[in-house]
């Protein structure tokens, strides 16, 4: 079931990439999708992590949130670089608890931390994530745990 | 305006290249090269729309891909010195290495 | 109208790129430089690709730009994390603490 | 737990990369691309897998014997198309003779030739990578 819907998705991707809808190219597309599915199956990469169907409904909200965070954090880092109205950098290494239940949730959280400039995930453990922050303010904001509730994770693993 | 963006990207690439040449540590150099690669992707995308040859966007995509895989590969080489050791055994090696 | 918006996006994106480029020369150590590189990699790329997307209109080109964006959105933080992780394991210690504008950065 | 982020992201990307490589393969005559580039992209996907999940699992996906077979098969395909055109009374690689008319013949010819190039390049790239990466393995 999962494989079939993944195949449909890949075929849609093929059609959009190609932009040609002649029977020849569509059948080549079908062969390509079949080959991709076969190899992906051999590699064992199709599972709930690579293909989080159950999380799709949560992504738009998360996406809007992360975009806003990226813009805000960017302004902060740009201020630091240009030294306009900043207190100077104060690099910190902090350890945060990791409430996410699944590997996917953990990875999304860690990547969200990295995506917002000013903080970089250094180490990811089962229960903790080590973060290098550019400023104390950035570290404090992460410690408040506001981002972690936004991560689409709760539904994972059923 | 395309010209202005192109110049801005080229200046950034120059700065990244300078860091890659100066960079005190090897990680600085890799980070700078990674940044250089991302800027190249943007440069190709800008040029594709500027010249109207939008099939170049495929190449931008390929470049993004190769850049990522290249950085991962170089990092592995720097970290392990080879490609065949098992990634999971790294924890042990780190302990030995940091002593 | 859309033209103006797309030029503004492209301009801001390019400017952010240059600022990030300055950042990787101003910041004192590897980890802080990684933040500066991260700035340009994320928002600069997003803005420029969005601006180009407005130029391309609703077409297959816009889809390809979107694909590049998705790809960068996944890979750029992953590469940053891999770099930071490798540096930490390689024994590179970050400089910590507040550095009160000593002027030498 | 090591490389968790890398693992998750690679899982998402690898199928897309493979499909993209095949797209480049079959659109050689419509845009930039063709056999060589497609072969490289395709092998890059497998190399990414090898980097993240280890060399041995990657070698299991496409066994070495099959890789060697594919590398030669691509070459045979390329040369074979050329010889078939000679058999049909034309020059080496004169595609026009392959179909009922000039245009469809050329389409078939180019597709087959690019396929041959792509298969050979992908498998030779992987053979290179596996033999270099495996050097000094106990």
Q: Is B52 left (phi over 0), alpha (psi -120 to 50) or beta?
A: left
Phi, psi (degrees; rounded to nearest 5) at A128? -135, 155
Does A50 map to a domain? Answer: no
Collect all residues from A whose CB is shorter than 8 A from any CB in D.
6, 10, 13-14, 17-18, 20, 24-25, 28-29, 32-33, 35-37, 39-40, 42-43, 45-47, 49-50, 103-104, 106-107, 110-111, 121, 124-126
The answer for C 66-95 residues in CB contact with B (under 8 A) is: 67-68, 71-72, 75-76, 78-80, 82-83, 86-87, 89-92
Q: Quick one: average pLDDT of B60-85?
A: 85
Does the distance separating the beta carbons of A120 and C81 come in below 8 Å? yes
Does A156 map to a domain? Answer: no
Tell me which residue of D109, D17, D127, D110 sits closest to D72, measured CA to CA: D127
Query: What is the C-alpha separation between B29 and B69, in angstroms, rounded?
Result: 16
Q: Give residue limits of the domains in chain C.
A: 2-89
A142 shares a domain with A64: yes
- Per the structure, the count of domains in chain A is 2
A69 shares a domain with A30: no
Does A31 map to a domain? Answer: yes
Query: What is the C-alpha separation between D131 and B17, in angstroms, rounded?
Result: 32
Query: What pLDDT digit, counting tens, does each position of A104-126 carry?
Result: 778 888 888 888 777 888 888 77
* Most C CBs within 10 Å, among A18, A76, A78, to test the C interface: A78
Strand order from edge to edge, sheet including A92-97? A92-97, A128-133, A119-124
- Residues A134, C35 contacting (CB under 8 angstroms): yes
Length of chain A: 158
Predicted complex ipTM = 0.84
A37 shares a domain with A69: no
Nearest CA in chain C to A87: C100
Query: What pLDDT digit, counting tens, does each position of C18-77 carry?
Result: 888 888 888 888 888 888 887 667 888 888 998 888 888 878 888 888 889 888 888 888
Query: What is the C-alpha separation between B57 and D1, in angstroms, rounded?
Result: 36
Q: How far is B1 from chain D (nearest CA, A)?
A: 26
- Write down the pLDDT at residue D69: 92
- Report the number of secondary-structure helices (H) and strands (E) in chain D: 5, 0
- Per the structure, the count of domains in chain B is 1
Q: Who's near C22: CB < 8 A, 6+ residues apart?
A: A81, A82, B15, C36
Mutual orientation of helices D4-26 and A23-43 as an angle, nearest 10°? 150
- Write down the pLDDT at residue A95: 83
Q: What's the domain range around A23?
A: 2-43
Q: What's the domain range around B86?
A: 2-98
Does A48 map to a domain? Answer: no
- Write down the pLDDT at residue B43: 92
């Amino acid at each position: 079931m999962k494989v079939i819907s993944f195949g449909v998705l890949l075929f849609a991707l093929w059609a959009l990439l190609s932009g040609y809808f002649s029977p020849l190219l569509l059948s080549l597309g079908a062969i390509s999708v079949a080959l991709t599915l076969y190899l992906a199956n051999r590699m064992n990469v199709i599972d709930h992590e690579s293909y989080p169907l159950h999380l799709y409904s949560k992504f738009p909200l998360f996406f809007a949130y992360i975009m806003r965070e990226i813009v805000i954090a960017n302004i902060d880092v740009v201020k630091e670089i240009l030294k306009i109205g900043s207190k100077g950098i104060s690099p910190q290494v902090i350890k945060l608890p990791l409430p996410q239940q699944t590997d996917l949730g953990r990875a999304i959280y860690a990547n969200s931390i990295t995506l917002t400039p000013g903080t970089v995930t250094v180490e990811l453990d089962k229960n903790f994530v080590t973060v290098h922050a550019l400023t104390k303010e950035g570290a404090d904001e992460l410690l408040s745990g506001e981002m972690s509730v936004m991560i689409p994770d709760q539904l994972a693993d059923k | 305006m395309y010209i202005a963006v192109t110049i801005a990207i080229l200046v950034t690439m120059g700065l990244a290249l300078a860091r890659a040449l100066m960079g005190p540590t090897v990680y600085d150099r890799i980070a700078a090269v990674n940044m250089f690669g991302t800027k190249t992707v943007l440069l190709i995308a800008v040029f594709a729309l500027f010249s109207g040859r939008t099939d170049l966007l495929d190449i931008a995509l390929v470049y993004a891909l190769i850049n990522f895989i290249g950085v991962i590969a170089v990092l592995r080489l720097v970290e392990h010195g080879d490609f065949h050791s098992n990634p999971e055994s790294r924890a042990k090696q780190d302990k030995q290495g940091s002593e | 109208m859309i033209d103006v918006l797309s030029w503004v996006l492209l301009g801001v994106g390019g400017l952010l790129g240059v600022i990030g480029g300055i950042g990787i020369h101003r910041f004192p150590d590897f980890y802080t430089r990684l933040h500066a590189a991260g700035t340009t990699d994320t928002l600069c790329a997003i803005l420029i690709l969005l601006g180009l997307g407005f130029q391309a209109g609703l077409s297959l080109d816009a889809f390809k730009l979107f694909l590049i964006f998705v790809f960068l959105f996944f890979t750029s933080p992953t590469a940053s994390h891999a770099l930071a992780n490798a540096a930490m394991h390689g024994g590179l210690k970050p400089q910590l603490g507040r550095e009160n504008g000593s002027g030498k950065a | 737990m090591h490389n968790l982020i890398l693992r998750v992201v690679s899982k998402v990307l690898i199928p897309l990369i493979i499909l993209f490589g095949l797209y480049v393969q079959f659109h050689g005559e419509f845009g930039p691309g063709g056999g060589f580039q497609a072969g490289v992209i395709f092998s890059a996907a497998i190399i990414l897998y090898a980097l993240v999940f280890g060399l041995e699992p990657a070698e299991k996906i496409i066994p070495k014997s099959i890789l060697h077979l594919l590398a030669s098969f691509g070459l045979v395909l390329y040369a074979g198309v050329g010889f078939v055109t000679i058999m049909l009374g034309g020059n080496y690689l004169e595609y026009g003779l392959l179909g009922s008319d000039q245009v469809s013949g050329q389409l078939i010819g180019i597709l087959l030739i690019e396929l041959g190039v792509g298969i050979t390049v992908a498998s030779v790239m992987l053979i290179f990578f596996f033999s270099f990466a495996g050097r000094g393995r106990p």
